[in-house]
Chains A and B, each alone.
Chain A
Amino acid sequence: MSTLLDEEIKDKDIVLLDSVWNVIVHNDPVNLMSYVTMVFQRIFGYSSEKARKHMLEVHHAGRSIVWSGTREKAEMYVQQLHQFLLLATLESVDL
């Protein structure tokens, strides 16, 4: 038998779990691989190895999830990626 407190905790868990958003970068034939790598380093602070790994994933798989977290921050990152002229979208994570 659940109490009101149990219900409140359950609802909060659902809200927290529901708040994860992915930032996805999509491939395009124009952006230079070196440019994409540089952008990932500059925006996300990734090492050159990690930035290159994501760049290669974009190149070979067509897309890469480059970051996950809150919606607000995901929107900020997508805006920055658009400033650098990368194709980027955000999407909520289905949990």
Chain B
Amino acid sequence: MANLSPDFVEILRALPHYKEIQLPRAQARLFPSPTLLDEETLQEDWKTYVHPDLKKHFQSARQVVEEDLKKMETLESGAKLSIPSSHLDAWMNLLNQTRLAIVEVHRLTEEDLEAPFEEDDPSSTLFRLHFYGYLQQALIEAWNSQS
């Protein structure tokens, strides 16, 4: 990604640091139950054996993205961000974590997500949510083109 304006640089740099992800509503979504039924043993086993690995997986994604962002180059024409193809999964994962957390914590509905948003206000939650979605889509297309 090249010619990034300061606003977009700021939105990208914010990605690994969203506090929303740590809030209970977001955590409940990032670590869902494996069953809709009242299966206590399965749920407890899942928390004990699966959640720690999931947590490591999510943290690893954040670390990869953070490192890539540190290498962002500032040029006259705007910042340039390079995402190695081996890092696509980490980026898609953190973008998804962040989008899910934003929606959960701000209790956004499907209507909210489809409503028009202020395209001139990069600081707005909806702007960032959609920006992260567009970026995730671009990465999915990059993945599809390499596979």
Contact = CB atoms under 8 A, between A and B. Distances in A.
Interface of A: 28-32, 34-35, 38, 75, 78-79, 82-85, 87-91
A87 B37 CA distance: 14
Interface residues of B, number: 29
A82 B28 CA distance: 12
B140 A38 contact: yes
B109 A82 contact: no
Interface string B47-76: 000100110010000000000000000000
* Binding site secondary structure of chain A: mixed
Given A30-B103, A32-B140, A89-B33, 8 more contacts: A29-B109, A32-B136, A35-B140, A38-B140, A75-B34, A82-B34, A85-B100, A91-B36
B99 interface: yes
B32 A82 contact: yes
Given A30-B103, A82-B54, A35 B96 contact: yes
A79 B100 CA distance: 18
B86 interface: no
B97 A32 contact: no
B109 A85 contact: no
B35 A89 contact: yes
B77 interface: no
Contact of B50 (A28, A29, A79, A89): A79
